Amino acid sequence: MDDQETGASKDRAAVTGDEVKVDLIAFVVAVNDGEPCVLTIGQADTLPSGPFALEHRSLQSGLRGWVEQQTGHPLGYIEQLYTFADRDRVGAERRQRAISISYLALTRKEQAASSPNCGWRSWYEYFPWEDHRSGAPPVELNVLRPRLIEWADGAGDAATRRERRQRTATAFGLDGRHWNEELTLQRYELIYEAGLVQEAGSGRDTTRASLVPSKSMVADHRRIVATGIARLRSKIKYRPVVFELMPQSFTLLQLQRTVEALAGRLINKPNFRRLIEQQELVEETGETSVDTGGRPARLYRFRHAVLDETPIVGTKLPVARG
């Protein structure tokens, strides 16, 4: 299911010279015990990455090689995420244009790498305000909202104050708006602009007491993760990529919990099951699971034929509002 690499990205990667550095970065996702996890390396919360070299046959082959070398984990499904080439990127050398071509990769729990050089962390450790499965989290209600409103009201002119207030309300579902789980990147960029994450500290008068409690990442890797979360939350609504994260057989409840973990939202159970059945995304295996803590539950598997029958299928996420 690898994506086609765009001509534009190949052109970017073909740029050479002492002032240009091209890196390949992987945002690798697995769902472990009901938590969406990201694969990191070393001790500094770093995404697997490496330079695009002449010996690499393609961007994807280069990425796969770096990830397997650094983590011991071969990649399955990957798709190009975004190319980051801003002149003022965090971590970029002053006289060097750093271009990073990022990829989203999905893997299954049983295939998750086990290596002393890498580890899996819940992405909610980096974005605790994104987990709304139990309602708006305290870090959002008690920390983020007040500090963002204070930041908005502290602007020097009325127009900027209104603009910041509106962006905050849209991103965080204030003033009668709904929370939109797909606005992960907009929320992070707003928080970054307000100087509330450690990555924004370069050149600013920020103290640890002013930061929102959350784990930071090196350079702009947290921004890359935010981009990937937003992409995945959107994509599971119109393509069946969630099954790349599922075991070969699963219960419908396990499927629902996986979708909820990714979306950070609860799903209406009857509506979810009805949509799954209507779209004929799964088929029964004829077996049952006794690991549910109650009566045996039917096991299902992804029905691959659906990919040939319809061009656009997904879970449509009947998320619970309120």
**Which pLDDT does position 85 carry in this prediction?**
82
The closest of 139, 182, 184, 148 to 166, measured between CA atoms, is 148
Both tokens of 180, joined, read: 């939109």
How far apart CA 63 and CA 24 sit, in angstroms, is 6
Instruction: With H, G, I as helix, E, B as strand and everything else as coil, classify residue 178.
Output: coil
Neighbours of 132 (CB within 10 A): 19
**Which pLDDT does position 179 carry in this prediction?**
95
Both tokens of 16, joined, read: 């050479």
Convert the pLDDT of each residue in 70-86 to its tens digit.
998 889 899 999 998 87
Buried-state track 229-259, b at ≥16 Cβ within 10 A, e below 16: bbbbbebbbebbbbbbbbeebbbbebbbbbb
CA 256 to chain CA mean position, Å: 18
Residues contacting residue 223 through CB under 8 Å, at least 6 positions apart? 84, 90, 185, 188, 189, 192, 199
How far apart CA 252 and CA 301 sit, in angstroms, is 10
Alpha helices in the chain (DSSP H): 7-13, 59-71, 138, 145-153, 158-172, 184-193, 221-235, 252-263, 269-278, 306-309
Which residue is listed with tokens 């910041």?
164
Convert the pLDDT of each residue in 273-319 to its tens digit.
998 888 889 999 999 987 766 788 999 999 988 888 766 566 555 55
How far apart CA 48 and CA 26 sit, in angstroms, is 6
Determine contact, residues 80/112, Cβ cutoff 8 Å. no
pTM above 0.95, yes or no: no
Which residues of the chain are modeled with pLDDT < 70?
Answer: 1-18, 87-96, 110-114, 202-209, 292-293, 310-322
Phi, psi torsion values for 55, nearest 5 degrees: -75, -10
DSSP 155: S
β-strand partners of 250? 300
* One-letter identity of residue 156: G
